[in-house]
Amino acid sequence: MIDLPGPDATADEDARSLLGADTSPLGRSTGWAVDLLTAAEPPREEDFAAHFVPVFLARHPQGFAATVEQWRGLGPFTVADYQAVAHKSWVTLETPSGVRSTLSLTLDSSGLIRVLHLGPEVVTPPVRDWDDLARAMEQPGVTWSALVTRTAGERTSTLYTKDADRPMPNGSSYKLYLMRALAEAVTAGTVRWDDEVTVTPALRSLPTGDMQELPDGTRVPVRETAYKMIAMSDNTAADLIQDLLGRDAVEQAVAAGGHAQPALLRPFLTSHEIFEIGWGDPRLRAAWVDADEAGRRELLDTVAGPLTVRGSDLGPTVHRLGLDWHMSAWDVQRVLTLLAEDGVQDASGVVEEILTAYPGVPVDQAHWPRVVFKGGSCPGVMMFCWLLEDPDGVRYTVVLQQCADEQKLIGDGQFLRGMGARVIESGLLSGHAR
């Protein structure tokens, strides 16, 4: 979370009231989850099936009630803060002694809970100037870069930069190029939003997302698939879109999207390929490292079948082997800017709807009526980027990137997301620090 610790009874009452007043599906699910930890009586195992996707409960073969009971033992809790954004929510819970934890929840597209996690609150320091950002981002063992820009008309100025020309692994932000390639195909008339893609074993990937759980042969409209690819960062959705467009078209979109070194993204990998080579047979990784571009393309043909890697296999970082999507902060800024233009030019409004569906953090819509967001992660990799447009049409981009040789140095992304929120709420973008 992004709030500083400290007891405040009024804030606690306001947060609980805010949660109680949220009658959206996300608000109702979050309220139910909070009640699991704060109600007088412990939950019953038979109550969970109506609230969670089956795959969540399958990860708790001994029953989820035992985990909830452990969480309850850390209390009693009061609600200190509540934040909800699209399909995700975060609740800060506080004990009488002042210990604060974050209960994070993600809804599946079916409306059921896909992720529910309780962990220590991640506190991010306030950002009053760019030196505050730099001090917070400077952490032992972590390489980072940052870029903040302002674009008014045809002129782009740099508000802050730190190693923004250095290519870094970016995880799921590669989906920005897929979205550009798709928007171009729709404009050209070679793809329609109501066309369908088909889920097959060879195109099924690992989470994030939920499309990997659809039965073989399920047909899904391109529009829905693209929405999940961007708003929910669905990996299977991204692989389905890439299969529809073809690898060549996406590689052309990388070059057209302003990547300074497009060869870094050739061949343009699917998430399926990253998982299979990165955490599958060790011989695949050795072959990948030794091969040139042509050899790597041949290697991809050997992993074109059903995925053999499971989520539990992911562990050691592989981005140093070139098994990720490497982009500099400037590369990210350029593709974000072009996508924003795609959203304006698309007469159907679908591109804009997809790009702005999930802003990543709570934002003041009066101040930022338009927000495009994308996050990305892999073991040892974390990045978040935003394009924000004010009521006058002035656009700002914020790009934050981290990588490390060990995942534990990066964490689950709450810190970097919080730092992005700090920058956005600081007033530094518009030149009036708060």
pLDDT band at 88 (very low <50, low <70, confident <90, very high): very high
Q: Are residue 130 and residue 111 in the same domain, yes or no?
A: no
Q: Are residue 83 and residue 133 in the same domain, yes or no?
A: no
Range of the domain at 33: 9-120
CA distances in angstroms from 308 to 202, 217, 243, 373, listed in the order given: 10, 19, 19, 31
Q: Are residue 83 and residue 138 in the same domain, yes or no?
A: no
Is it the case that residue 341 has pLDDT exceeding 70?
Answer: yes
**For residue 70, what is the domain's CATH number?**
3.10.450.280
Is it the case that residue 244 has pLDDT exceeding 90?
Answer: yes
C-alpha dihedral (71, 72, 75, 79), degrees to nearest 10: 90
Which pLDDT score, from 0 to 100, does residue 434 have?
A: 47
**Is residue 4 assigned to a domain?**
no
Contact 379, 171 (CB under 8 A): no
Is it the case that residue 22 has pLDDT exceeding 90?
Answer: yes
Q: Which of 386, 384, 385, 388 is nearest to 413 (CA)?
A: 384
392's CB contacts (< 8 A; 6+ apart) are none
**Is residue 189 assigned to a domain?**
yes
Q: Which of 99, 120, 141 is the last residue of a domain?
A: 120
pLDDT in tens, 300-326: 999 999 999 999 999 899 999 999 999
134's CB contacts (< 8 A; 6+ apart) are 146, 162
**Is residue 3 assigned to a domain?**
no
Indicate the residue type of 86. A
pLDDT band at 389 (very low <50, low <70, confident <90, very high): very high
Q: Are residue 200 and residue 327 in the same domain, yes or no?
A: yes
Pair of tokens at residue 317: 């970082």
Contact 132, 126 (CB under 8 A): yes
Is it the case that residue 12 has pLDDT exceeding 80?
Answer: no
Pairing type for strands 100-107 and 113-120 reads antiparallel
Total of domains in the chain? 2
Is it the case that residue 10 has pLDDT exceeding 90?
Answer: no
Q: Are residue 110 and residue 137 in the same domain, yes or no?
A: no
Q: Are residue 257 and residue 363 in the same domain, yes or no?
A: yes
Higher pLDDT, 144 or 45: 144
Q: Are residue 183 and residue 306 in the same domain, yes or no?
A: yes
Q: Are residue 77 and residue 131 in the same domain, yes or no?
A: no
**Is residue 427 assigned to a domain?**
yes
**Is residue 405 assigned to a domain?**
yes
**Is residue 1 assigned to a domain?**
no
Please name the residue that has the structure tokens 């959705």.
Answer: 237
Is it the case that residue 413 has pLDDT exceeding 50?
Answer: yes
Q: Are residue 329 and residue 415 in the same domain, yes or no?
A: yes
pLDDT band at 61 (very low <50, low <70, confident <90, very high): confident
Separation of CA 241 from chain center: 18
DSSP for 177-233 reads: HHHHHHHHHHHHTSS-TT-EEE--GGG--PSSSSGGGSPTT-EEEHHHHHHHHHHS-
Which pLDDT score, from 0 to 100, does residue 175 have?
A: 98
Is it the case that residue 6 has pLDDT exceeding 90?
Answer: no
**For residue 348, what is the domain's CATH number?**
3.40.710.10
Handedness of CA 428, 361, 12, 116 (dihedral sign): negative
**Is residue 144 assigned to a domain?**
yes
Which pLDDT score, from 0 to 100, does residue 369 have?
A: 97
Which pLDDT score, from 0 to 100, does residue 266 have?
A: 98
Q: Are residue 137 and residue 112 in the same domain, yes or no?
A: no
Distance of alpha carbon 341 from alpha carbon 348, whole angstroms: 14
196's CB contacts (< 8 A; 6+ apart) are 219, 220, 221, 222
C-alpha dihedral (374, 377, 383, 387), degrees to nearest 10: 0
pLDDT band at 421 (very low <50, low <70, confident <90, very high): very high
pLDDT in tens, 187-228: 999 999 999 999 999 999 999 999 999 999 999 999 999 999
**Mean pLDDT score across all residues of the chain:** 94
Q: Are residue 137 and residue 23 in the same domain, yes or no?
A: no
Q: Are residue 23 and residue 103 in the same domain, yes or no?
A: yes
Q: Which of 120, 143, 165 is the last residue of a domain?
A: 120
